[in-house]
Homo-oligomer: A and B are copies of this chain.
C-alpha cells in the first residue's frame, strides 16, 4: 500500500485524493498555506498552480528529499494565453527536478481535466494518466495508485517528455477555453 501526500486542496487536489482512497491507498492532504505541517507520504503530489510551486519547493525541499514528487502543473502564460512561461526547450517538471536534486520527480495528471479523474472516463474511453519520469520504480508505484482506482496509466517516457505533456496540456486547455471541447472531454488515449 502506498501513502500519498497531496499539497493543494483545489479541484485537482481533491480529484487525485479521491483516486488514491478509491484504490485503497492512504492519503493526507494539506493546503498550500499549511507550511508548518510536514508531509509524510512516499509520493507527494504538488497539486497547486505553477505559480505556487517555487515557494512550496523552497519551503519543503529538505522534507521532499528521498520522496517521489509529482508535478501536475501546466505553466500556461495566462497573460497572453498563447504559450507557456517555461523556456521552449524546458518544462516545469525539469525546473522542479533541478530545484529538488534529492527527490524523484515525475510529471503526471497535467493532461487530465479534474472531472475526467473523478468520472473515470474521457468520452467513451477510460481516463488515462500519462506519466513521465526517469525512475522506473517511481513510475510503477504511481501507476499502481492510478490503476487501483480503475483508471489507466501509460508510461510516456523519461522526464524529458514532460515538455510534450505540457504542450498537450496547454493545447487541451486552449481548446476547452475556446469552447472547441468541454472541460469533461479532451484528449482520450485509445490503447
Q: Please give, as numbers and ranges, the residues of chain B lying within 8 Å of A165 by CB-CB distance.
A: 171
Contact residues of A between 136 and 191, Cβ < 8 Å to B:
154-157, 160-161, 163-165, 167-168, 170-171, 174-175, 178, 180-182, 185-191
Q: Please give, as numbers and ranges, the residues of chain B lying within 8 Å of A125 by CB-CB distance.
A: 123-125, 188, 190
Q: Please give, as numbers and ranges, the residues of chain B lying within 8 Å of A163 by CB-CB distance.
A: 167
Number of interface residues of A (CB under 8 A): 35
Q: Please give, as numbers and ranges, the residues of chain B lying within 8 Å of A164 by CB-CB distance.
A: 167-168, 170-171
A interface, over-half SS = mixed
| Bound Cα distance A76, B137 (Å) | 28
Q: Please give, as numbers and ranges, the residues of chain B lying within 8 Å of A62 by CB-CB distance.
A: none
B181 touches A157 (CB 8 A): no
Q: Please give, as numbers and ranges, the residues of chain B lying within 8 Å of A178 by CB-CB distance.
A: 155, 157
A190 touches B122 (CB 8 A): yes
A189 touches B190 (CB 8 A): no
Closest B residue to A82 using CB positions: B160
Q: Please give, as numbers and ranges, the residues of chain B lying within 8 Å of A82 by CB-CB distance.
A: 160
A171 touches B156 (CB 8 A): yes
Q: Please give, as numbers and ranges, the residues of chain B lying within 8 Å of A188 by CB-CB distance.
A: 122-123, 125, 187-190
Q: Please give, as numbers and ranges, the residues of chain B lying within 8 Å of A83 by CB-CB distance.
A: 160
Closest B residue to A154 using CB positions: B180
B187 touches A187 (CB 8 A): yes
Closest B residue to A121 using CB positions: B190
| A1 interface residue per 8 A CB criterion | no
Closest B residue to A166 using CB positions: B167
Q: What are some 24 contacts across the A-B interface (CB < 8 A)?
A: A87-B88, A88-B88, A123-B124, A123-B191, A124-B124, A125-B188, A125-B190, A154-B175, A155-B178, A156-B175, A157-B178, A161-B174, A164-B167, A164-B168, A167-B167, A167-B168, A168-B168, A180-B191, A181-B189, A181-B190, A185-B190, A186-B189, A187-B188, A187-B190
